[in-house]
Amino acid sequence: MEAVVMTGGKGMRMAPYTKVLPKGLLPVGERPILEIIVKQLRYYGFTSITMACGYLAPLIQTYFADGSRMGVAIRYEVENEPLGTAGPLRSLTHIAEPFLLINCDVLTTLDFRRFREFHLEGDSLLTIASQNKAVPIELGVMETEAEYVTGFVEKPAHSAHVSMGIYMMSPDILRYIPGNRAFDIPDVIQSLLKANQKIRHYENSSFWLDIGRPSDYTRANEEFQRLRPILLPDDPG
C-alpha cells in the first residue's frame, strides 16, 4: 500500500528548532517524528512511501536512505521551490492506487488501515480524517436584530469538524492539482467542490496532535511515553 509524507515545509512556527533540522527530524521520545510515522505506516501495511521534500531535504534523505532499515521502500520527490501542501503530488505519476497522505508533524494513534478501508468503501476521490473539536470564543457574543440585542452568551464554545492533516486520495485526484506552481490542500478541496466531486470525512476519536508550535512540541514529548505502546505497537522500545 502507498503513502506520501509531506516533509517540505520550513516549519517557521517551530523556530529556532527548525533552523538546524527539518521539522520531521525533530525528536519526539528520542526519535524523529518522521521515524514514528514511518514505523506506524509499516505496521498498518503501508510499505511503499514517498517523501515529498524541500527544506533541508538532504538531511531527511541521509537519515532514511531507501527505507530498508525500517522495512519499507522510500523514494523522494524533492521540490526546487515551495509547492505548497499539495503541489508536489502532481509529479507522483508512479502511484496507481489510493494512497494515504500525511503531514510530517502529526502525532496520532489513528488506525491507518481502517481509514484506508473506509475510503475504499466510499465513492469519493478524497477522504479527510477528522475530529469534532470545541472551538471556544473568548468573548461575550451578542445575538442582534438591527440595533437591538436579543441575546447574549459569555464565552461560548462552538463545535466543528477539523482536518487532522491526514488524507486518503484516489489517483484521479491528481487531475485537480496544477503542475509547477504552489497549491495547497484547501485549494484541492475547493477544486473538487467546484467540480461537484464528493468529499468524505472519517470522524474518529484517536489521539491527535498537530506539532505546529513549540508548546505542541513540548506536549508531544510529554505524551509520548504514555502513548508509546499505542503509537508504536510493534516497537514498544
Instruction: Give mean pLDDT in consecutive 10-residue pieces for the chain, a chain of 237 residues.
Output: 84 58 84 94 96 85 93 91 86 90 94 97 95 87 88 86 94 90 92 95 94 87 89 77
Which contiguous run of DSSP H or E holds residue 113? helix 112-121
Domains and CATH numbers, the chain: 2-130+163-231 (3.90.550.10)
What per-residue confidence (pLDDT) applies to 79?
A: 81
Judge whether 87 and 145 are in contact, CB under 8 Å. no
> What is the rounded distance in angstroms from the CA atom of residue 41 to the CA atom of residue 49?
9
What per-residue confidence (pLDDT) applies to 17?
A: 56
Task: Provide the grid cell at 159.
Answer: 463545535
3-state secondary structure of 216: helix
Judge whether 112 and 100 are in contact, CB under 8 Å. yes
